[in-house]
Structure 1
Amino acid sequence: MSAVSLDEVRRDWTRLGSAEPLWAVCVDPDKRNGGWDDEEFLASGAAEIDGALARLAELGVGHGTGRALDFGCGAGRLSNALARHFEAVDGVDISAPMLAEARRLDRSGGRITFHLNEAPDLSAFPDDSFDLVYTDLVLQHLPPELAAGYLREFTRVARPGGAMVLGVPARERATFKGLVFRYAPWPLIRLAQRVLLRYPAPMRMHTWSPERIAAALADGSAPGRAPRIAASEEYWGGDHWQHLRHFVAVPPREESP
């Protein structure tokens, strides 16, 4: 991942955060130009987190309730929801305007700390920092080599016996719009988003299959100690993508004899 590419991601999401922070987090044609109500926006995050944590419990994927990471936190929609279940939450984003909006919307009473992270890693956090690592609709916006690096970082900062929840598109749908994203060159898609759709900045998109996620999580892990995907389930679909939510168990360390 080159510094220029990372800077391009930062620049685009800084523009999106400055112009349409809530809409850029939850893209809905009816919510353009400030259409999201603050409380409605936060309630949508609470519904997502409540459902995801309930599903982790159903799958028997345990985790503590001490500290959670919201990677690509944007305007704090999910950070606020996580703060209802964890003692502390760290929200990480590359866009300073997004983080300013997140701090405005912070309803946690001091349980959330927001971090500007412009590095291609999570070196601000030591190993085994988080009981839960959560990211949704973020990794697809990053160049794949950068996203893979963050996935490896998730395995480092997740506590043994903890969990991850990773929401990403698994594939393009066999529709006109889906096929455009699969086959059209990125400069053409970027131009269409800016000129035809009038996005404040373009949103790049990449797919991550369960097999690709599992391989990235295993990369660098000790043999037999890679995080295990307990379930990969479709949770949102449209005429562009099939989105999967991956519920991941982080294996506990073996006890020393």
Structure 2
Amino acid sequence: MSTVEVMPVGLEQVRRDWTRLGSAEPLWAVCVDPDKRDGGWDDDEFLASGRADVDPAVARMDELGIRPGGGRVLDFGCGAGRLSNALAAHFDEVVGVDISAPMLEEARRLDRSGGRIAFTLNERADLSLFGDDSFDLVYTDLVLQHLPAALAEGYVREFARVLRPGGVMVLGVPETERRTFKGMVFRYVPWPLVALAQRVVLRYPAPMRMHTLRTGRIAELVPGGRIAASDEYWGGDHWRHLRHFVVLDGAAPAGGGTA
């Protein structure tokens, strides 16, 4: 008898929220800017913002001597493909993964790669769509913060599984809340109240969860990895964001996915 897989409650809520965001304001939801509400992002400007994020990260990998040559890239939480297109300018193949079908529709519309990006819907709490040692680079930026902490940590473990030995993870995540009014709201106010304020006061189509992922915790989640650098790269009055460059020096963890 076949079994029906039930999506974890937290992940189902993430799927519902980002499906709403992808249906209502896909580009703004990826790049939240008060001046870009109601369709304010121009397509070319939106994609250029992705190059402005990815190009320095690729240059930093070159500087550190860890950049994979050519290779296959996983863009986790690809949204509307802002970073996928930028990554395709540097690598042979990009797989963009997201939980929101409307976001992926927008990503396919904006695909300027000439066929080198594959956009894939993943509604699972793992990456079992992909086998062990499937990618040379895993890239995710300002995505894990929107997931419940246990799910975010589970995906980091999965990044290590699908990454080839010698491969690289680039993880852009908030390290800490800033000691400002907005930062302290996210740190101390219960999430249901923050979500209500986002919906009612800020008029978000759906709330955007936020939490931190500390450097030490990343090291614990990837025991076979080496953090080559952790750079502060984005400001704002809410969070202190770091971009971690993690090299998988040892053999990838076994099990978990299927080819």
CA RMSD in angstroms, aligned pairs only? 1.4
How do residues 110-129 of structure 1 correspond to structure 2 at under 5 angstroms? 110-129=115-134
What is aligned with 1:196? 201
Partner of 1:233: 231
Q: How does 1:58-207 map to 2 (within 5 A)?
A: 58-207=63-212
Residue-pair matches, total: 247
Task: Say which SS state the counterpart of residue 18 (structure 2) adopts.
Answer: helix
The letter for the 1-side match of 2:51 is A
Distance 2:163 2:250 in 1: 10
Letter paired with 2:235: G
Q: 1:62, 1:161 within 8 Å by CA — same for their partners in 2?
A: no
Matching residue within 43, 52, 74 for 1:38: 43
Partner AA of 1:62 in structure 2? R
CA distance in structure 2 between the partners assigned to 1:241 and 1:50 by the alignment: 22
Paired with 1:50 and 1:205, the residues of 2 have a C-alpha distance of 25
Q: Please state how far the C-alpha of 1:253 moved relative to its aligned partner.
A: 4.6
Distance between the aligned counterparts of 1:134 and 1:71, measured in 2?
A: 6
User: Helix, strand or coil: the match of 2:222?
Assistant: helix
Contact 2:225–2:250, Cα closer than 8 Å, also in 1:
no
> For 2:178 and 2:251, how far apart are their aligned partners in 1?
39
Q: 2: distance between equivalents of 1:124 and 1:131?
A: 16
Deviations 1:8-27 (A, max 9, x none): 00000000000000010011
Q: Which runs of 5+ in 2 are unaligned?
A: 1-5, 253-259
| Structure 2 letter corresponding to 1:51 | P
Structure-1-length-normalised TM-score: 0.94
User: How far off is 1:187 after superposition?
Assistant: 0.8
Contact 2:176 2:214 in 1 (8 A): yes
Structure 1, unmatched stretches of 5+, are 219-225
Distance 1:180 1:253, change over 3 A: closer
Give, in whole Å, the separation in 2 of the partners of 1:213 and 1:109.
Answer: 35
8 A contact 2:98–2:120 mirrored in 1: yes
Equivalent residue letter for 2:247: A
2:90 and 2:183 map into 1 onto residues whose CA distance is 36
Paired residue type of 2:124: A
The alignment's TM-score, normalised by the length of structure 2, stands at 0.93
Identity of aligned residues (%): 74
- How far, CA to CA, are the matches of 2:145 and 2:226 in structure 1? 21
Amino acid at match of 2:213: W
